[in-house]
Structure 1
Amino acid sequence: MKLVPAEQINAVLDWQGVLDAMHQVHLGPRPSIDDYFIGDSRYGLFSRGVILPGAGAGVKIASMYPANLAAQPPLPAEHAAFVVIDEHSKAISAICDGPAVTAWKTAGDSALAGRYLSRPDSEVLLVLGAGPVARALVEAYLHIHPGLRQVLLWNRTLAKLEPLAGQLQARGIEAVLVSDLDAAVARADIIASATAAAAPLIKGAFVRPGTHVDVVGGFRPDMREVDSELVGKARLFTDDRVGALNAGDLAVPLQEGVIGEGSIEADLFELCQAQGVRRAAGDITLYKNAGGAHQDLAVCLCALRRLAAGV
């Protein structure tokens, strides 16, 4: 059994490799996946498992304690590991650093869908959040849209984003810290949100026609990043219908009667196998990134293959 730390994972992965591995998973049969959560907004234990025929199986285990962020010095709010199970022997073959896998997988999930749902001529990206996933989303969208001319960054505490903005600017990327979120939403072609918000941050009244909105952060019924107005006027897509409809971003509009269970047009398997969707120039697309352990497994297996090959 191998223990694979974040440093090794980050050293061997790149966005093209991750997207290729995740795309391949979505071209095959649907895996058996399930999630389990106990706790509340103060502290929770979360696990998600997968059996993926032909590839193996795995389980993510996460301990989530947001109060760690207020510690001095701050500690990670999430500690996690992904356990990889060998396809043939059914033995545990590796334990991979969970946060590293999560960042690659979550942003890769969004970027894979974004290749099909966002406009190719998108120029302005807005990212909400300051954690590792938000940072990974910036890089993933820059990979699929190298023509992006401006990256807008928002967080409740803007100072947390100053290092990221400086790093992007040093690479010649126009990165701007924004305090007026509504105004930034109105300027963006792509909006990606990875926060733990309990109340909507992105309001449908300010989202322009033609915008792609990527909703990543909320996974519980009490978490929301977008309001019901936006959900009601957008074309809806997700990676997992069950997980998406359990998250507040869609669960609340569903309870309000704004949408129905059939309002989601396609999931990520359908997007990949159909090679996208037809969209009019003024369509607003909304992708609810609910995740799935099959995606974590794909990232882990990609990293393990590259490590074994000495890449």
Structure 2
Amino acid sequence: MRVYDAKAVHAALPWDYLIGALRVAHLAPMPISDVVLQSDPAGGQGQFVTLPGWAAGGPVVVKMVGVFPQNATLDPPQPAVQGLVALFDGATGAPLLVADGAAMTARKTAGDSALGASLLAREDVEDLLIVGAGALAPHFAAAHLAARPSLRRVMIWNRTQARAQAVAADLRAQGMNAIVAKDLDVAVTQADVISCVTMSDRALVKGALLRPGAHLDLVGAYLPTLREADDEALSRGVIFVDSRQNMQGSGDLSQAVASGAITWDAVQADLFGLIRDGQRGRASADQITVFKNNGGAHLDLYTAAALAQSDRA
């Protein structure tokens, strides 16, 4: 059994390799998966999630991860999401690897959105806006640039500007042209790709401000009570999801359905439909595309399998 710390995970899963591996994985049927979510019995903000997944004729994954938003306020800060991912042989049950959960979550989540952008964003996009400056923000910037190399500028917006400045500085140190967006509304009007990676409970991106041809990537609203984009963003855009299996839990989608702005029929396709079944993605250069990144154990399985395969490449 192999053990991967965070540094080893990131080194073994470069974005081009991971995006390609995720694309190939979506040619197969959806693995069976489940979610067990437990909230802090003491009434705190923390949650613990266990996500098992099993591919037909393939391996088994179990992701064990805590989601603790208050970790950012600790001294020193800790990732809000951390835990372990374990991969097992699907024929014998033998453990194959254990990997750092925060690194695997960062890689899987950003890779998921980058795959969506590679299928839906225009090929000539230049300006990327990252909404949120948490631990995932630098990974999303790098992943989107790998998916769309035409991107020339990265804007970072965060409610706390000092955190946006820190992320922008980190990206510049990696060779990216990164700046702080002081006004979110102005940045939205300038961006070709907008990736929202927050824990917001209110809409941040206003659909009226989206430019024609924009691609909106919604990541953070993984609970029905959370929200990153308003109803107009959902109604103006053509909506895609990573998996239909997990989409009802999304606050962005479920709240827009509840308000009557859209129906569930507005979701055009998921990644399986786009990749395996040949369903249509972007239809024109001016079309606004919306991709809801819901996650799921199947993506943890694909990422862990890619990690195991990276040693054999």
Please tell me whether the aligned partners of residues 116 and 275 of structure 1 are also in contact (alpha carbons under 8 angstroms).
Answer: no
Distance 1:37 1:95 in 2: 21
Tell me the amino acid that sits aligned with residue 88 of structure 1: A
Provide the residue aligned with 1:30 in structure 2: 30
Please tell me whether the aligned partners of residues 219 and 243 of structure 1 are also in contact (alpha carbons under 8 angstroms).
Answer: no
**How far is 1:242 from its partner?**
3.4
SS, match of residue 195 in structure 1: coil
Distance 2:8 2:199 in 1: 28
SS, match of residue 248 in structure 2: helix
Deviations 1:12-63 (A, max 9, x none): 2211110111111101122112222222781211122211123211111111
For structure 1, which runs of at least 5 residues remain unmatched after alignment?
none
TM-score of the aligned structures, taking structure 1 as reference length:
0.94
| Counterpart selection for 2:193 from 182, 186, 190 | 190
SS, match of residue 227 in structure 2: coil
- Quick check: 1:119 aligned with 2:122? yes
Please tell me whether the aligned partners of residues 116 and 276 of structure 1 are also in contact (alpha carbons under 8 angstroms).
Answer: no
Distance 1:280 1:157 in 2: 36
CA distance 1:172–1:18, change in 2 (3 Å): closer
Distance 2:86 2:129 in 1: 33
Deviations 1:98-140 (A, max 9, x none): 1111111111111111111111111110011222322111001
Work out the percentage of aligned pairs sharing the same amino acid: 37
Provide the residue aligned with 2:287 in structure 1: 283
Distance 2:218 2:65 in 1: 21
For structure 2, which runs of at least 5 residues remain unmatched after alignment?
none
Please tell me whether the aligned partners of residues 201 and 227 of structure 2 are also in contact (alpha carbons under 8 angstroms).
Answer: yes
Question: What are the equivalent positions in structure 2 for 1:224-303 lying under 5 Å apart?
Answer: 224-273=227-276, 274=278, 277-303=281-307
SS, match of residue 46 in structure 1: strand
Distance 1:262 1:33 in 2: 24
Please tell me whether the aligned partners of residues 46 and 63 of structure 1 are also in contact (alpha carbons under 8 angstroms).
Answer: yes
Please tell me whether the aligned partners of residues 213 and 286 of structure 1 are also in contact (alpha carbons under 8 angstroms).
Answer: yes
Tell me the amino acid that sits aligned with residue 3 of structure 1: V
Distance 2:78 2:127 in 1: 32
SS, match of residue 247 in structure 2: helix
TM-score of the aligned structures, taking structure 2 as reference length:
0.93
Distance 2:173 2:96 in 1: 40
- Quick check: 1:14 aligned with 2:14? yes
Q: Between Structure 1 and Structure 2, how many residues are aligned?
A: 309
- Quick check: 1:158 aligned with 2:169? no
- Quick check: 1:59 aligned with 2:75? no
**How far is 1:212 from its partner?**
0.4
**How far is 1:4 from its partner?**
1.9
**How far is 1:304 from its partner?**
2.2
CA distance 1:220–1:176, change in 2 (3 Å): same
Provide the residue aligned with 1:4 in structure 2: 4
Distance 2:2 2:177 in 1: 41
Deviations 1:48-107 (A, max 9, x none): 221112321111111122222212222222222112111221233222111111111111
Please tell me whether the aligned partners of residues 113 and 271 of structure 1 are also in contact (alpha carbons under 8 angstroms).
Answer: no
**How far is 1:172 from its partner?**
4.8
SS, match of residue 200 in structure 1: strand
Distance 1:46 1:169 in 2: 34
Deviations 1:152-208 (A, max 9, x none): 111112222334323433455321101200000010000001100010111112111
Please tell me whether the aligned partners of residues 210 and 284 of structure 1 are also in contact (alpha carbons under 8 angstroms).
Answer: yes
SS, match of residue 222 in structure 2: coil
Larger mean CA deviation between 74-83 and 251-260 belongs to: 74-83
Distance 1:126 1:161 in 2: 12
Question: What are the equivalent positions in structure 2 for 1:21-100 lying under 5 Å apart?
Answer: 21-39=21-39, 42-100=45-103
Please tell me whether the aligned partners of residues 137 and 167 of structure 2 are also in contact (alpha carbons under 8 angstroms).
Answer: no
Distance 1:89 1:5 in 2: 25
Tell me the amino acid that sits aligned with residue 48 of structure 2: L
- Quick check: 1:207 aligned with 2:210? yes
